[in-house]
Structure 1
Amino acid sequence: MIQLTPQMRILVAVEPVDFRKGIDGLTKICRQRIKSDPFSGCVFVFCNKKKTAIKIITYDGQGFWLCQKRLSQGTFQWWPDKSQSGICPLAVHELQLLIWNGNPQNAQVAPQWRKILTEF
């Protein structure tokens, strides 16, 4: 089972990929387009051209996990602009919103940390 933790590095591929690709094809994209090691433990997120499905791949130390979500209706509302470099980093809560077809950029969530007051 995959557990997403705040320490995980999550990288979203901006360009759509051919979803006929499996683990080997997606790890090749990680190396060539994203310029990242697929064995690093990062979580890599890809979408198809129609934006009706996403694939997530990660390495857990023993092997690769490949997950896919295909929407039964419509398309994913948000995906990074092509004006960005080949990747877009996300926080865990943003990936969770993306999986539920939300918009990570418009979400109103608490800041990731708060300054601790030293005086009472």
Structure 2
Amino acid sequence: MFNLNDSMRYWLYSFPTDMRKGFYTLSGLVTDQMGQDVRSGDVFIFLNRHCTSLKALHMEHGGFVIYYLKLEKGNFSLPSFDENGKVHPFSWQKLMLMVQGIETEKCKYKKRWKGS
């Protein structure tokens, strides 16, 4: 229980989200706006307008979990988005860099083998 890791799929909602939204309203955004299945086990990430708060919605065994992080100083750096979609695949590594305050656009990724 209460487990996020690099084997999960992450989706970032590209529009600002009201952080007063709870389980059911965020689930509605996932279904209606993102076109995803909230019960898939994927993690759905939402940010507020000023990028100072982050909510991650995840379905675990037994029910929904919301992870909520509110920064006291600074803000989260967003990756670049294309103009087309409302949902963007996101990686565990990018999420960890964003939470730690490291700008993902300035990171240089070295070649690594990725198994299928």
Same fold (TM over 0.5): yes
Classify the TM-score, shorter chain.
0.7 to 0.9
Higher fraction of helix? 2
| Separation in structure 2 between the aligned mates of residue 108 and residue 44 of structure 1, nearest angstrom | 25
Match of 1:4 in 2: 5
Instruction: Give the letter for the 2:96 counterpart.
Output: Q
State the Cα distance separating 1:99 from its structure 2 match: 1.4
Question: Number of paired residues?
Answer: 114
Contact 1:14/1:79, CA 8 A, preserved across alignment:
no
Unaligned runs of 5+ in 1: 116-120
Q: Indicate the SS of the match to 1:89.
A: strand
Contact 2:77/2:104, CA 8 A, preserved across alignment:
no
Unaligned runs of 5+ in 2: none
Identity of aligned residues (%): 23
| Separation in structure 1 between the aligned mates of residue 61 and residue 112 of structure 2, nearest angstrom | 27
Runs of 4+ in structure 1 off by over 3 angstroms are 79-82, 109-112
Contact 2:79/2:105, CA 8 A, preserved across alignment:
no
TM-score, structure 2 normalization: 0.86
State the Cα distance separating 1:107 from its structure 2 match: 1.9
Aligned residue runs from structure 1 range 1-120, under 5 A: 1-5=2-6, 7-81=7-81, 83-113=83-113
* TM-aligned CA distance change 1:89 to 1:70, over 3 Å: same
